[in-house]
Structure 1
């Protein structure tokens, strides 16, 4: 780069590492300019090189950030999928338990209905027996030939 216009390919392949080196390159190119037009051409080349360097760096950083974010999202998706599988298992287990409890309750309800029917039948039988005994007692009291009330064990 001694005396001639800055070589764009050289600057892009060996870009300055930091802002200070870019300033040094720019100052060196401006000092090497032989005219205003030469200074403009050199400034244009250095600034275009700086722009391309910044753009390449930004693109690389964006790609790296995108890759990191992509990896984080993949990990989150894997965790969510694992959680989803676990939740599906839990729902299936809960469904089976509810089904078993429902079956148990249905059996219990049927047993209770049978017991109610049995008790109702027993109640009817007891009521009929009670009525029959009441009638027999009344008939026995009417047929008693001895007046007055005597203890039944006396006879």
Structure 2
């Protein structure tokens, strides 16, 4: 738990080892050497409603099974001097006098509280505090205020940028009381992020479909206009074709008329020639010379 907290908080942990001997339980029993490994880390989360820094330390100890409950309580009080004695006793009893489990439980309680452990001395015997629901811490606004996420609309969640998501994840991890709470918060955060991504993708797809629909409508209107122009052009061409056919028919009729007129002209020329010949013959056969009064003849 402490290692996960150190990773999540981005802090480096310092390791140091210390050897000490526990005081003998009786004058006849020899002292029991203990080797304790201390793992300490400091963590200062920045909360919107708290200006003070909180320091957490995680301790892991490996002890012999022969340590009595009173000796284990003394060890726990030595390792956690800032915790209330009743709280330590209650944690030890709940862990069945298991020193390692009690230390782990107290470490989780200290990391989960984020405050002075004495402030939780009057709480119930539970050693792990349940985390608040996801987004109850709210999201930070541009002016530094904190807005509860439950008041945020779906549109605001969808339009959150990467920086806001990072701050939200960090705030949720800082608010986690233990590993299980951190996992639950991370799961809820990822679920909301997935829904946000899906909503954003759906919105982008809908916007793309809308733009494509608008483009198709514009193309359809352009095609309708072109079709109207083509229809008009076809109608004009049809009229011209009909007019051309009519003129062709008239031309044929005129050609026939010209042929008939030419035939009539030739007939008239022949008749005129025949009349000229008759007139000439008549003039040659006239036997009375000179001029005569036409009134007499």
TM-score (norm 1): 0.67
Match of residue 233, structure 2, among 90, 115, 121: 90
Match of residue 119, structure 1, among 256, 262, 270: 262
Higher share in strand: 2
Match of 2:164 in 1: 21
Using the TM superposition, give the Cα deviation of residue 118 of structure 1 relative to its aligned residue in structure 2, in angstroms. Answer: 4.4
Distance 1:121 1:41 in 2: 117
Distance 2:160 2:204 in 1: 15
Distance 1:92 1:86, change over 3 A: same
Distance 1:72 1:65, change over 3 A: same
* Per-residue deviation, residues 75-125 of structure 1 (Å, max 9, x unmatched): 221122122112211211110111011110111022213323543675688
Match of residue 58, structure 1, among 196, 201, 215: 201
Between 97-106 and 73-82, report the one with greater CA deviation.
Answer: 73-82
TM-score (norm 2): 0.38
Q: Which has the larger radius of gyration?
A: 2
Match of residue 68, structure 1, among 211, 225, 239: 211
| Runs of at least 5 residues in structure 1 that lack an aligned partner in the other structure | 137-155
Q: Does 1:5 align with 2:138?
A: no
Match of 2:188 in 1: 45
Does the residue aligned with 2:190 lie in a helix, a strand or coil?
helix
| Runs of at least 5 residues in structure 2 that lack an aligned partner in the other structure | 1-48, 50-130, 137-148, 278-297
Runs of 4+ in 1 over 4 A off after TM superposition: 120-127
Higher share in helix: 1
Match of 1:107 in 2: 250
* Alpha-carbon contact 1:30-1:39 (below 8 Å) kept: yes
Bigger RCO (CA 8 Å, 6+ sep): 1
Alpha-carbon RMSD across the aligned residues, in angstroms, is 3.2
